[in-house]
Structure formats: structure tokens, C-alpha cells
Amino acid sequence: MLKIGIIGCGFIGGQICRAIDSGEIDAELYALCDSSESKALELATSLKTCRPAYMKIEELIRSVDLVVESASQNAVRFIVPQALQAGCNVMVLSVGAFADKELRETLFGLAKQHNCKLYFPSGAVVGIDGINSARAAGISSVTLTTRKPPSGLMGAPYVVEHGIELEKLEEETVLFEGTASEAVKAFPANVNVAATISLAGIGFERTKVKVIADPSLSRNVHEITVEGEFGKFCTRVENLPSPDNPKTSYLAALSAISTLKKLLNPVQIGT
């Protein structure tokens, strides 16, 4: 049975643990790790059937077949190279870290060298399947427009550096327009989806991103427009935010669960 280790025991890590615990994902939840040990232990004791051990990152990587990174972009730099060098497959949630070209090329090279898989779930957006298909013939443009309630954007480096008083906004306000490369640095916990879209499509410099704060919203809304040789498509998802972390949409955790189920399933549906 596939042994899974989870690094980052917040909302997404917790939802994956519960899906393994309930038997929805047919794998062994072998180990947990979090920079807050008490958070990982609390999660472990809340489970009904699984008894994962708490391990430091290095020990966890040595002990499992697949590492789930559900921590932060900074954690990716530390965890993913070690995991690939140890021969582990890795599922990455903090995809924005891959905007760094040097890191991206190093990690893709290590995956190839060690014959490991890197999995990037679709996360909080819909349409990655369409981008994957469209790329086969050529894509001319990709834009992502993300709208979140101000509470979901609090603390983002861009907001802090520009002194934006989110709590005072009374109407929909465009905070940022730029490339996906700039967006994931400006909003590292808000638009990892821009990185996944970039990897699937035309890269971090050609993918355009708009981030909007809207006090009338209670959902995280992501719209993608793609044009290319195939024609054009637009997707829109209105995500319920997680109750624990308003930055993260529930669909992002479901997407991670679905990716794990897909890699374990002999029947593959969808692109």
C-alpha cells in the first residue's frame, strides 16, 4: 500500500488526512510533519483509524513513497529537492514556488533523474484539463481573474507593501494586474492557481493575472480565459472558502484528494 507523508497540517493537509482516514483514499497515512508540532499531533489524534507518526522532514522523506507538500512556497524549496533525491514522488500545493525558473528547472531535472513524479493538482480552479488539451495545438493567451473577499487577501506581501487598507474597501477594487510570475510573489497564499495555469499553458511571463478585492463577496471567484488554435474557452468557479483558512478554497483540498485517488486508480477519466 502506498505510504503517504504529509508536510503541512493545515486545512488542505487535514482534509487529505480525513480522506485517507475514512477510506476514501486507499493509502497508508504514514507520517505527518508541521512547523507547529502540536498542530500535527492534534490532527493525528483527531483521526479515527489512522495512526500516523510525527516526524521531522528528513525522517518523513526517508520513510514514505509519496510526500504531500501542503505547507508554503518557502517549504517547497527545502522539501521538494530532498524528497526527489530520496526517490519519493511529490504532490505540490504551494505551486507558486515554481515561478522561480532556476528552482523549477532544478526540480524538474531531479524528478527526471530520479524517475519520480511531481503532481500538481488543479487546485482551486477549473479548466486545467482544457489548457492541457489546448496546448497540443498552441495557445495564444491565458488570463486569470481572481476575486476574493478582503478577508481572504489580508497579509499578502503586495497588500502590506502598498499599505492597502482592505478593511476600508466599500466596493470591488482591482489590487493588482501583472504576469503570473509577479502575481505569485505578490500574493503567495492567494494565487498558486496562477502558477498551475502557467505550468499547464504558456508559462509564467505570458500568463496574465488580475487580483480583485470585493467586499460584497463571500466566495473566492476564479475566472480563466484561454484562446488558441482550438478556439476559446472561459471558466468561472465560485468557491466556498475553507472555514479554517479564508485564503484557501474548499475545492483546492478536494482537488488534492482527487489527484491522490486518480494516481491510485487503474481507470483514468479526464485529461
Ligand X SMILES: O=C([O-])CC(=O)C(=O)O
Ligand Y SMILES: NC(=O)C1=CN([C@@H]2O[C@H](COP(=O)(O)OP(=O)(O)OC[C@H]3O[C@@H](n4cnc5c(N)ncnc54)[C@H](O)[C@@H]3O)[C@@H](O)[C@H]2O)C=CC1
Q: How many CB atoms lie within 10 A of CB 14?
A: 24
Contact assessment for residue 52 and residue 17, using Cβ atoms and an 8 Å cutoff: yes
Q: Are strands 207-213 and 139-148 parallel, antiparallel or unpaired?
A: parallel
Among 35-43, 209-217, 227-235, 244-252, the segment contacting ligand X (CB under 6 A):
244-252
Among residues 18 and 148, whose Cβ is nearest to ligand X?
Answer: 148
Exposed, middle or buried: residue 187 (CB in 10 Å: 0-12, 13-18, 19+)? buried
99 forms part of the interface with ligand X (CB under 6 A): no
Closest by Cα among 196, 28, 34 to 121: 196
> Grid coordinates representing 226?
484561454
The answer to whether residue 222 is catalytic is yes
Side-chain half-sphere exposure of 40, counting CA atoms within 13 A: 23
Of 13, 130, 201, 228, the one binding ligand Y (CB under 6 A) is: 13
Q: Which of 18, 148, 208, 222 is catalytic?
A: 222
Task: State the amino acid at position 75 in one-letter form.
Answer: A
Alpha carbon distance 194, 131 (integer Å): 12
Torsion of CA 257, 260, 262, 263, to 10 degrees: 170
Residue 259 interacting partner from ligand Y, ligand X, none (CB closer than 5 to 8 Å by kind): none
In angstroms, give the least distance from the CB of 69 to ligand X.
13
Amino acid identity, residue 21? D
Binder among 4, 5, 6, 11 for ligand Y (CB under 6 A): 11
CB 201, CB 227: distance < 8 Å:
no
Residue 144 found at the interface with ligand X (CB under 6 A): no
* Cell (9 digits) for 40: 500535527
Q: Which of residues 38-97 bind ligand Y (CB under 6 A)?
A: 39, 70-72, 74-75, 93-95
Query: DSSP assignment, residue 233?
Result: E
Stretch that binds ligand X, among 17-25, 52-60, 174-182, 189-197 (CB under 6 A): 189-197
Nearer Cβ to ligand X, position 89 or 192?
192
113 to 132: interface string for ligand Y, x by CB under 6 A: ----------xx--------
Contacts with ligand Y: how many residues (CB under 6 A)? 30
Neighbours of 269 (CB within 10 A): 6
* Residue with Cβ nearer ligand Y (59 or 230): 59
Beta carbon nearer to ligand Y, 69 or 214: 69
Active site residue ranges: 222
Residue ranges binding ligand X (CB under 6 A): 123-124, 189-193, 220, 239, 247-249, 252
Residue ranges binding ligand Y (CB under 6 A): 7-13, 33-36, 39, 70-72, 74-75, 93-95, 123-124, 189, 192-193, 196, 244-245, 248, 252
